[in-house]
Amino acid sequence: MKNTQNRPMSPHLQIYKPQITSVLSILHRGTGIVLAVGTLLVTYWLSALAGGVETFNAANAILGSFLGKVVLFGWTWALFYHLSNGIRHLMWDTGFGFDLPTVYLSGKIVVGASFVLTVLLWIVA
Amino acid sequence: MSLLTPFKRASGLGSTSDGVKHWWMQRMTAVALVPLTLWVAFAVASHVGADYATVAAWFAKPFTTTMLTLFVFTAFFHASQGLTVVIEDYIHHDGVKVTALVAMKLVLVLLGTSSILSVLRVAFAG
């Protein structure tokens, strides 16, 4: 009976082979956390704008630097991945798309859409 | 030593608090954020490189002010709900968990309020 207290309560991630289903699920939470931390950037840019011309130009110089662009590029991909996969989750919430072929297909569409939207945004920018 | 499994101890005790409302509000904010995020992301991207006066004039348009305010409020609310689940999932020590939840929420309220006031300040004061 001692063992009942030590039984695994949730799957051991390290013994499962990575699959598109689990990887996309983990990415959804990962990008969600990244975006939550990324709200700091939103607040930073908006307060810089509210601060006036000088602080606005300074913030744009930082965000427009090479490192700034790398961070923003990763951030936009995380945003569009979380958005696309979020729509996939909303579809699941209505009870549709749970069969395996559809799960794989919608997963591939989400990954494709995240990159298309990211590239589109950087073409606009 | 109890012979009951953790499931048996928990089953039949009913809901712990307000899970359904949390779940529902997370979906409501998610639905709202789809159009809000797409609009804000591409609208901001199209102003990259614009000078202060141009961006300030754009912020002062009523539609822009409305969309940015709604986006910031909804995004920070959604972030708070998401991080709540993450904290509840991974932090099992009650004291640490409650401290993390309170700290996270207060920080997001601070950042969200600051962001919205910045939007309004630019919109109304230029």
Q: What is the pLDDT of residue A9?
A: 67
CA distance B107 to A8: 34
pLDDT digits (tens, 9 = 90+) for A30-56: 999 999 999 999 999 999 999 999 999
pLDDT band at A3 (very low <50, low <70, confident <90, very high): low
pTM for the predicted model, two decimal places: 0.88
Provide the mean pLDDT of chain B: 93
Q: Which of B8, B118, B121 to mutate to test the interface with A (most CBs of A within 10 A)?
A: B118
The pLDDT value given to residue B5: 83
**What is the domain partition of chain A in residue ranges?**
20-124
**What is the mean predicted confidence (pLDDT) over B55-73?**
97
Residue A7 has pLDDT above 80, yes or no: no
What is the ipTM for the molecules in this complex?
0.88
Q: What is the pLDDT of residue A114?
A: 98
Residue A1 has pLDDT above 60, yes or no: no
pLDDT value of position B16: 66
- Contact A89/B108, CB-based, under 8 Å? no
Domains and CATH numbers, chain B: 21-125 (1.20.1300.10)
Interface of B with A (CB under 8 A): 1, 3, 5-6, 27, 30-31, 33-34, 37-38, 41-42, 45-46, 48, 52, 55-56, 59, 72, 75-76, 79, 82-83, 86, 108, 111-112, 114-115, 117-119, 121-122
- The pLDDT value recorded for residue B125 is 87
Q: Do B34 and A113 meet the contact criterion of CB atoms below 8 Å apart?
A: no
Domain A20-124 has CATH 1.10.3720.10: no
Is the sign of the CA dihedral B42, B43, B44, B47 positive or negative? positive
In this structure, of A6-10, A23-27, A32-36, B11-15, the range with the lowest mean pLDDT score is A6-10
Q: Which of residues 95-114 of A touch B (CB under 8 A)?
A: none
Please state, in angstroms and rounded to a whole number, the distance separating the CA atoms of residues B112 and B59. Answer: 17
